[in-house]
Structure 1
């Protein structure tokens, strides 16, 4: 006991010292932590505090609009809303309103009620309920929430890309990645201009997590992207796609088809189509039925790796712009390059003659002409072009020589990309001068051996006929900011003059003759002086047997001073026809028939054409029979009177229809008389004379379509309006006639 009492003061001192040391250590620790928080890691903790006190909401900028040349919208961003819930605010303030929240959001947004309910009980402060909500729906939801005093539901505006024309010019316009940037077409090429700068809304929250509605909110406006005004004309694009679709349906090409309509002098692209195309508002849907079924089979089999690979390939094929990304042998369309180069270099003259007996030989290799009737005999240059004679162009190429041939191949822009303002332009595959042999020169001279793109071919062709100028094709005319200021104006670019105006004039006259000779080719249109050339190439690199083809045609108007030029390419038709003049030329004819009057070009008929013009059926109902007959005969039509009445009560065809002179209008003169119905036969393979006789016997009228309808050898490729069905006697039957050979 005595020892304990004696040591007490010492123990107290030690205890006090221990307490002091502990407190000092604690003070130092706290000081260090405060230093770390206040100084060393101040940014971190300020950010943490801000995240708890402030909410930053991104306001997506509207992507720039894409217009056609007339201001029609092709692509635009529209404001939609993201509807969200804030579980923290809900837990603090709105738990009693759970049923109202769940019912309103599920019913307005078409979402399962339990999914909405689950989001209300998440741990974080932001849960998306739905995206892409239309403004009217979002407004309706927020009005309901406001009326109920609910603060845990919000709607944030954002932008959605919308293509009002759906599939029009799809492969040119392109579309967006799901992250919002362009991945094809104009959307990709001009992405940096079209993309705007996102804005922000920063709002403060109270201790419960609820936003202060006005006082502590800062907005930073989004800066919308620039807009594109293109050279595309939606009307021309429509007619181009419509005609190309008809060609695809008629010829069933294995590898699709494409077409380009361009200003021959400036390079401005008025239309560019790839068939088949796709809906820009749903680009991931596979529109090819066979491919879609094959993918479905892979998915059902469980081979997901192969499924994803094949789907990616299908997307790439669907989205690819064939007019700029596909290589092909241009075939006889290329003869305009060989011919103009030879004329420019005086390697040939218009008075020179070329003999064709059906084939020619170069270093042991036989080159056949397309005709199987012993060749074309002796021809001058214009005739070789009209006949599309391969042996003659082999000789022309040999006269020109490999060095000059390769020089002009390059000068016409065929060794380089055209520079069009679209992504994924392909690079041509060609034989350079160092590797050119007499045999490769021979095949190159008529459009085999070298593979180029359709856009390269149309630009080279334009240079042949526009005075010799090689132009750069371009889709966009100008870029304009959100305030209407011009950011960038594009102008026509002439790279170089390849041939003289004199040579170009000869080529224009020659190619007009190609279209008009022997009463016209399949691209001939009455009243319009059109120049053109067909092409039929063999895909020998893929099929050495030579029985797969590419059919093409390139035409321009007016022939004496070209403004419009069009190229059509159909890749591997499979329904029997394969000559470019039979497969591709009708597309040009159909498009030019529609767009030339639209562009203000009106027909100027020759006397011969005037005599062959169709007439408009007059309205003779309620007229006396005698008067009706006189009216019809005055414009070259016949009358077939049915009944004994004195007044016409009905006529077939009705007034306003177009029909050839010497056609017959059936006149009914008694009320209640039933129309006589007759069956429309299949006229495929009929000549014009045979089709007329067949229909006349049935009491039907023939309206022949196609520029070559009056030409000897033209055959019907099919009835266009009424196919193998019953129609009233007197009905006009439209049938298409064409020449199935390589002439023109």
Structure 2
């Protein structure tokens, strides 16, 4: 009789039978937990990478506009050309496979019609090698790449995404797509990206900066406001098949693009053009080794209307060296070991904004600050006098005046007009070291101005400002010790003439989004008032007197009230001999209530002149002569100025004699009529600027011959003598040269018509005038 299993045995058996199942269940649960929770993110990412495709929709970088709404920078759609080598190989393999299928079908097919069809397809089919080679050659040609490099990239099946070209225009992308269609192959594609375009080319390049291939801001406003400009890219996520092709009907999720914000600048492209034209002239005439720069701004608000460095560059092609001499030098050393270093140095210098990133000794322009500080501190008065014997001794140091003579006894106004070094040494010593440092700091020289441009540097003091001995203070007082940036200098002078307020200079007025909503507005920012309104008014009057006293050496413009000061400094830290210079000039208008201020700096001129009054003042004069009428400031001539002012002669041809006479006489011209007709048929001169009170000859019939006169010699005559002499011959004067506005000036002998030449009655003769000596540095 067999024993029946006991309950204990049954229980044990059940446990042994269930244990593996339980362990398996636990393992499965653990596995599910591990995959779905612990490693869920990893597996989800892997699945998405295999099943989903994410396409970036690049954000459009914000645009930049000048003060009048003109486009300075904007983004255009271009393409990145890339290859998927795996897809390309699959398509090439499929092509070879099809060729083999066609060959087999031709052998096996009984139908003549089908055989002919297969043969036609086979005859037109290209092998994968033929297709690949043709594509390589085409892309190398169009993308300007090395054939071997293209072949290597197209054949690299370790990647599905290899870039062939960036910033490709739509026309070229279309050509590539047409070629792929012709070859009946896929694998090379174009995806949208943006390219920065600067429609004004080199205009305001140092202000704007440029972007790299990744659309990141490099230099200028592009860098400073990069976070505002660049926006946020969007994405489109879709399902994809095994070959990587989109299946949007299965799944599609879009994430909206956020385009960048726009910058609205205080820069006016017309004022910017006028400034750059003047700086280019200064560069060509003086050939400075360390470039030229200039700034035009509102002294009350700090709004920057124009800012430039010459040579400039084209931000559309920033790597192209714009200075022809530098470019030629680099071309001559292309295969030398030093080439790459020199090229990097050339780029660095070309892109560097001299106005904010380079230091210079301000020279006599700094006397404005010394004078204002001493007046404000009541260390001196307007009536105090200072003696100049041509030099002054401070302790063991003999300090010379800039001129070989002496200025005698003079008050502050005269000392400023004479730009007298010994006088300002005395003023500086009266001010004292502690007060000098106090105002040096107060005018903003020991801090960044805060201008919204990258790369601004701070001043450099050869002597420690917390310990200025008498000699150091003396040389500091006339701008020969402390190095500052041009933006610091013009900001400080602005404070001296705007009522004493140190303002923050601003290039950008506001930032707006794509709907025109204001994201940020740069309001006027006053840091402090460093001098009183009364002291500032005194400085304006003194600086107006500087211009009126020495017209030929300053920014004198007939019909305008201008204040200004020139500066010439030695670059002693670079050249101990002291024969390398910086010439500069700062001018503002109107002198009584300034609305505009301008600074021009010529660093180490190598021409015949180096004084700021000779290399920089004429540029300020020319530029402001254009800028002031443009911004609505028109000339108001004094009686004295009317005697010598040049006025454009309008073309009155085909006017009636009565109309022509009235038009010309209202402008102050003397009209001479030749002939018996009623209509003006010819005139002499026309469309040129001649002296007020000059004569215009009108011919009213064809019978009257043009009257001729002989040109006299006017060499050595003063301006008034030259004008009177020419008038006796029936000729007109056009005065040019550095002393054209001065009565005490002399004709150099340069005139457009040689003495003895026969010319028509009324002809305008251009004469160059100059003074016998430089009136100011």
SS in 2 for 1:310: helix
TM superposition shift of 1:219: 3.2
Q: Which residue of 2 aligns with 1:80?
A: 78
- Alignment partner of 1:317 is 2:315: no
Whether contact under 8 Å (1:353, 1:380) holds in the other structure is yes
The structure with the largest alpha-carbon Rg is 2
Deviations 1:606-651 (A, max 9, x none): 222233333443545468999989987884347697x999997544
Change (3 A) 1:631 1:53: closer
Change (3 A) 1:652 1:130: farther
SS in 2 for 1:372: coil
Q: Which residue of 1 aligns with 2:499?
A: 467
Q: Which residue of 2 aligns with 1:294?
A: 329
**198, 203, 209: which one aligns with 1:163:** 198
Whether contact under 8 Å (1:719, 1:733) holds in the other structure is no
Q: 1:195-206 alignment to 2 at 5 Å? A: 195-206=230-241
Q: Which residue of 2 aligns with 1:743?
A: 776
Q: Which residue of 2 aligns with 1:617?
A: 649
Q: Which residue of 1 aligns with 2:450?
A: 419
- Alignment partner of 1:481 is 2:513: yes
Deviations 1:424-474 (A, max 9, x none): 111211233432111111111111111111111111111111111111112
Change (3 A) 1:523 1:214: farther
Cα distance in 2 for residues equivalent to 1:106 and 1:718? 66
SS in 1 for 2:232: coil
Cα distance in 1 for residues equivalent to 2:334 and 2:343? 10
Change (3 A) 1:420 1:710: closer
Cα distance in 1 for residues equivalent to 2:368 and 2:764? 40
Q: Which residue of 1 aligns with 2:427?
A: 396
Change (3 A) 1:164 1:685: farther
SS in 1 for 2:618: helix
Which segments of 5 or more consecutive residues in structure 2 lack a partner in the other structure? Answer: 1-23, 96-124
Q: Out of 519-528 and 149-158, give the one that drifted further.
A: 149-158
Cα distance in 2 for residues equivalent to 1:497 and 1:647? 64
Whether contact under 8 Å (2:558, 2:637) holds in the other structure is yes
Deviations 1:168-202 (A, max 9, x none): 11111111234332221111111122122222233
Whether contact under 8 Å (1:458, 1:567) holds in the other structure is yes
Whether contact under 8 Å (2:361, 2:569) holds in the other structure is yes
Q: Which residue of 2 aligns with 1:59?
A: 57
Deviations 1:378-402 (A, max 9, x none): 1122111111111111111111111
Alignment coverage as a number of residue pairs: 709
Cα distance in 2 for residues equivalent to 1:233 and 1:738? 34
Cα distance in 2 for residues equivalent to 1:352 and 1:207? 93
- Alignment partner of 1:379 is 2:379: no
TM-score relative to the length of structure 1: 0.83
- Alignment partner of 1:255 is 2:286: no
Q: Which residue of 1 aligns with 2:562?
A: 530
Change (3 A) 1:727 1:142: farther
SS in 1 for 2:460: coil
Cα distance in 2 for residues equivalent to 1:623 and 1:58? 67
Which segments of 5 or more consecutive residues in structure 1 lack a partner in the other structure? Answer: 1-26
- Alignment partner of 1:336 is 2:365: no
SS in 1 for 2:317: coil
Deviations 1:22-47 (A, max 9, x none): xxxxx99x999998995676655554
- Alignment partner of 1:510 is 2:545: no
Cα distance in 2 for residues equivalent to 1:290 and 1:554? 29
Q: Out of 566-575 and 610-619, give the one that drifted further.
A: 610-619
- Alignment partner of 1:606 is 2:638: yes
Change (3 A) 1:130 1:652: farther
SS in 2 for 1:435: coil
Q: Which residue of 2 aligns with 1:235?
A: 270
Change (3 A) 1:657 1:361: same
- Alignment partner of 1:154 is 2:189: yes
SS in 2 for 1:299: coil
**386, 394, 407: which one aligns with 2:438:** 407
Whether contact under 8 Å (1:105, 1:111) holds in the other structure is no
Cα distance in 2 for residues equivalent to 1:644 and 1:593? 41
Cα distance in 1 for residues equivalent to 2:381 and 2:705? 69
Cα distance in 2 for residues equivalent to 1:355 and 1:111? 72
